[in-house]
Amino acid sequence: MNAVQLTNIRHLTLSELETYFEQMGEKKFRAKQVYEWIWLKQARGFDDMTNLSKDLRAKLAAEFSFPALSVDTEQHSNDGTIKSRFKTSEGHFIEGVLIPTDDRKTACVSSQIGCSLSCKFCATGYMDRKRNLTYDEIYDQVSLINESCEKAYNKKLSNIVFMGMGEPLLNYNNVMKAIERITAEDGLGMSPRRITVSTAGVAKMIKKLGDDKVRFKLALSLHAANDQKRNEIMPINESNNIEALVEALNYFYKQTGNEITFEYILFQNFNDSLKDADELIKIYRRVPADLVNIIEYNPIDNFQFNKPDEEKTAAFMNYLEKHKVNARLRRSRGKDIDAACGQLANKKAV
């Protein structure tokens, strides 16, 4: 006989909790206490709720589940980057990264267990997508990385980027709900302006972000500035081509006025010529983008590209700057622990 599936208590609203407590003959304010433990105090189980009686905690544990993430392993890079491997309640693994610089402490979080998009240069793309992360699991990642940040650097997180494992816009509802809880005053209280959601390019969902009038920033993983090359390394481009993405980004900006960034990894002898730079400039001029992040390629096992030499990279950057493109070269962090852009694959620490 199958065990009864308990309701995840973190999936109840405050009013649903109030109804539950009233029905069991408890005072209504208990609901507020539990809700605060879940979100404001970031409890990871009923035993953490120390201002509730043991009897009440036992009742809650019998009625509800509380499937929180836990830290499985933590790796520290020579450059200060910290990669955490998190374990879900049923034993899946995901990774998140703390990226520290002098002026900011950024959490790079995952939205799915694995990924379905198969981008050729990304280690996660070679994994099967097991499932979407729930909004409380995404919240746990931020909370746990923040704890790691406070322990290592005595500072709270300043920024969050959805650039870890998975495609955030294919887990739309959970990502939106997680951001609502992360930015809520009775949650983590972070400013939405300090959150960036990165997408490989799902045009329909970029437009939905605009319709929903979101307040966070958007980054598009472009990585090639014509459809032929983009199809080669990002199969999603076959159904979401550059023209569709340009239209969607313009719609998003018109609806929200929010900052848009292009992400562009340089691959040797593939997208690093001045002709490629020209094509990138043309796209940049068609979208109200604030910035182009030029990213160093980080080698992975399955993909046979290399990064261009410093001279070629400098020539590409200089060409963009000469043509008034606001471009920044993003040096990789955490390469020695497979924590850099595109390297997240749940490798066991050695």
- Let me know whether 226 and 333 are in one domain: yes
- Helices 242-256/274-286 angle, 10° precision: 40
| DSSP reduced 3-state for 316 | helix
- Let me know whether 41 and 22 are in one domain: yes
| Residue 341 confidence (pLDDT) | 54
- Let me know whether 333 and 254 are in one domain: yes
Decide: 164 and 97 in contact? Cβ < 8 Å: yes
Tokens (6 digits) for 303: 């993909």
347 lies in some domain: no
- Let me know whether 33 and 90 are in one domain: no
- Let me know whether 48 and 96 are in one domain: no
- Let me know whether 33 and 75 are in one domain: no
- Let me know whether 230 and 151 are in one domain: yes
Is pLDDT of 348 > 60? no
Question: In this predicted model, which residue has the larger pLDDT, 343 or 291?
Answer: 291
348 lies in some domain: no
Give the C-alpha separation, 326 to 29, whole Å: 52
DSSP strand pairing (131-132 vs 112-113): antiparallel
pTM here? 0.92
Tokens (6 digits) for 280: 């990138």
CA distances 304 to 20, 42, 236, 293, Å, are 56, 43, 20, 22
44-53, 245-254, 331-340: lowest mean pLDDT where?
331-340
Is pLDDT of 349 > 90? no
Centre a 10 Å sphere on the Cβ of residue 185 and count the other Cβ atoms it contains: 8
57 lies in some domain: yes
Q: What percent of the chain has pLDDT over 90?
A: 81
CATH of the domain at 36: 1.10.150.530
| pLDDT tens sequence across 221-262 | 999 999 999 999 999 999 999 999 999 999 999 999 999 999
List the catalytic residues: 95, 341
Is pLDDT of 350 > 50? no
CATH of the domain at 100: 3.20.20.70
Phi, psi of 327 (to 5 degrees): -120, 145
- Let me know whether 171 and 303 are in one domain: yes
- Let me know whether 60 and 178 are in one domain: no
1 lies in some domain: no
82 lies in some domain: yes
